[in-house]
Amino acid sequence: YLLSTLHRLQAELQERVEQRTASLAEVHHRVKNNLQIISSLLMLQAEKLSNAADKAVFDECRARIYSMARLHEQLYSSGDFSDLDFAAHLREMAEMLVRSHTPQGCNLALDVRADPVAVDLDTAVTLGLIANELLLNALKHGFAGRPAGKLTVELHGGNRNEMIVRDDGRGLPTGFDTTKNAGLGVELVLGMTRQIRGEARIENDSAGGTRATIFFPSLLPSKTVKTEPQSKPTHHD
């Protein structure tokens, strides 16, 4: 009798776990769909605008929403709702933004060097938005009017994780101070970095161009994830 009771309780527990997993999957699926609808509405609205600056604002908003939607889609596809591989998301987002936001006439090389780093959903969303702002800033200010350039994105795990976005563009203006003359993108980066108890450094790179480094604590241990290392830069023009 005791053994049959244990089997029954185990079966009930397994059924509840499966129901909870299915509910979580449905939530992530609906969130992703709703975000994609919002993105589509923004695109339709942007098509009616004639001012280039206004269109750029809508494009940047769509990029932020896309980043969040893809994270929910990644969780839904993997079935693992506790954490995800941020390296894969970072690589995909960098490639998408380079395709859509590289200045016309610029032959841009993208080099992504991302170690497998597992983070929870909240941290992944925040990191994704930070990366989105840094990449957009680099593409917008680092390569305008240039025939060619290189954008490097790095992600390194460890006791103190770090994400780096650097370009070989014109660099920061003399006297640039993130506490005084930062634009909306930099303000968002600084605020969201504090949100994950991290540290942000935005400075001129010693090799030329701008380097942004985001340090953030290891909230979850790194996982062994199958990722394709990108040893050769990809070119976009």
Among 178, 181, 205, which Cα is nearest to 191's?
178
- Confidence (pLDDT) at 162: 94
Mean predicted confidence (pLDDT) in 201-219: 88
How many Cα atoms sit within 13 Å of 31 on the Cβ side?
20
pTM, rounded to two decimals: 0.71
Mean predicted confidence (pLDDT) in 108-128: 90
Q: Would you tell me how many other CB atoms lie within 10 Å of the CB of residue 59? A: 15
Report whether pLDDT(95) > 80.
yes
Q: For the segment 19-37, what is each residue's pLDDT rounded down to a tens digit? A: 555 555 566 556 666 667 7
- Confidence (pLDDT) at 225: 41
- Tell how many helices (H) and how many strands (E) occur in the chain: 5, 8
Report whether pLDDT(220) > 60.
no
Q: Would you tell me how many other CB atoms lie within 10 Å of the CB of residue 53? A: 7
Q: Would you tell me how many other CB atoms lie within 10 Å of the CB of residue 216? A: 21
Report the alpha-carbon distance of residue 91 to residue 27 in Å, rounded: 25
Write the CA distances from 36 to 39, 68, 130, 137, integer angstroms. Answer: 5, 10, 20, 23
- What b/e readout covers 120-139, taking b as 16+ CB neighbours within 10 angstroms? ebebbbbbbbbbbbbbbbbb
Mean predicted confidence (pLDDT) in 147-161: 91
Mean pLDDT is lowest, of 2-6, 93-97, 190-194, for: 2-6
